[in-house]
Structure formats: C-alpha cells, structure tokens
Structure 1
Amino acid sequence: MTQQQLAEKVGIKFQQIQKYETGMNRISASRLWDIAETLSVPVAYFFEGMNGDEAETQTAANLQGVPGDILADKEALELVRSYYAIPENQRRRLFELARVLSDAAA
C-alpha cells in the first residue's frame, strides 16, 4: 500500500503519513488505531521488537501530565464515549481542533 493510499483510507494527507514515518510528527493513539485497522494489523505490531523497558519509557514520556487511569475518571470516560459518537469526519476535525488548542495552552 502506498503512503497516498494509506492516507486516503485514514482520511489525512499523505504528507502527514510521511511525517509520522520519519518521526517528524508524533502519532496519536487514535490515529495509530486507525492506521492499524486500515492495515489489518494489531496496534502491538508497531511495537514489535521493543523490550518492556523501552515501551514503558515511551509510554511514560507520551503520558506526562495524564493521570494513571484516565478512564477511571467519569468525565474523561464520558468525553471519550461522546467523542466516538460523533461522525468520523467531524470527529477528525474536532481532534485537530483539540490538538491545536492543547498546543496553544502549552
């Protein structure tokens, strides 16, 4: 599958796929999920070959400032459920807006 084909199926521009591939941009968990589904592989496929320490370090680095069990929080769980109830094209736009707002707040 080409980067262009993958991008079309995931609903993003192929340049974004290139940025993910080169490590220029970080990939969100939801986007990784979408890509894994498109490629018909489990998300764990992308972590094959990493030992447990590397995986823990990566996870800890990506979750700084996030409570340990965020889905145990009632508000967070409700937000996630509401988010996935939104149609996919609108959900992607909302996600991009949230990302821009969180970058601006940092």
Structure 2
Amino acid sequence: MKRNPREANQIDEHVGSRVRLRRQLLKMSQEKLGDELGVTFQQVQKYERGSNRIGASRLFRLAGVLDVPVSFFFDGLTAGPSAGMAENEQSPIVYDFIQSSDGVALAEAFSKITDSKVRRRVLELVRALAAEQNASESGEA
C-alpha cells in the first residue's frame, strides 16, 4: 500500500519531539506556546507527537518563540539513502530519555555544573550506579 505523501512521517515526529524538548527546557506550557503561535494547545500536542506537520512559516515562528535556530529542530537527523532522512541508531535511547521529565531535569541540572572535574565525577557516579543495577538484575551481586 502506497503511503500518502501528505501524511506525517518520522521526520515530523522528530521535529515534534525537538519542539517538546525545547518547550520543556523553557518550562513553557503547551497552552502558552499555543498562544504565542496563535493555535490551540491541542494543536501543539499534535505537533509534538508528529501527528500534524508543521509548515515552514510556523516552524520559523516556533524557532523565534523557543529562541533556537530553525536547524535545532532537525538536529540528530542525517541524510538517508532512500528515505530522504533517517535518525542515527543511538537517537531513540537519547530521545526517549530527554523526553522524560527526569531526563529534562537531569540535563538541566547537569548543564548548570560549570566545573569539568565535577561533571566528570557525576558521569562516573551515574555509570557506576548503572553498572551496579545491571549486575544486581542479572544476579551477579
């Protein structure tokens, strides 16, 4: 069955997830973003899920409201051989994490640490905790 070219696709989902990420980092509600764009919060929800496409002029306006370059919405996509665009293989793990409230909070807090040695120690702590959990789940502990 041939896909409708007007239907939303994986790129629309990716762009929507980037809209959601930036909105959450700014602690902006869907209602506030909708007001800024002149659309309902339900429309913002549809954009963020990728079920509705975001037109070029609206994407440009979104970039202004969210204070990012338009290219921000396409970060993480690479040109694919036949699909036109495809996400790299590690992206789903990163996107699932950063779209969670814990992921946003952790990224926000981590970015406020300016001392590189402290940042490295936090990373080492997280890796050690993950290894410890994996070991206990597999019965090695």
TM-score by length of 1: 0.49
Structure with bigger helix share is: 1
Structure with bigger strand share is: 2
TM-score by length of 2: 0.38
Which of structures 1 and 2 has the bigger CA Rg?
Answer: 2
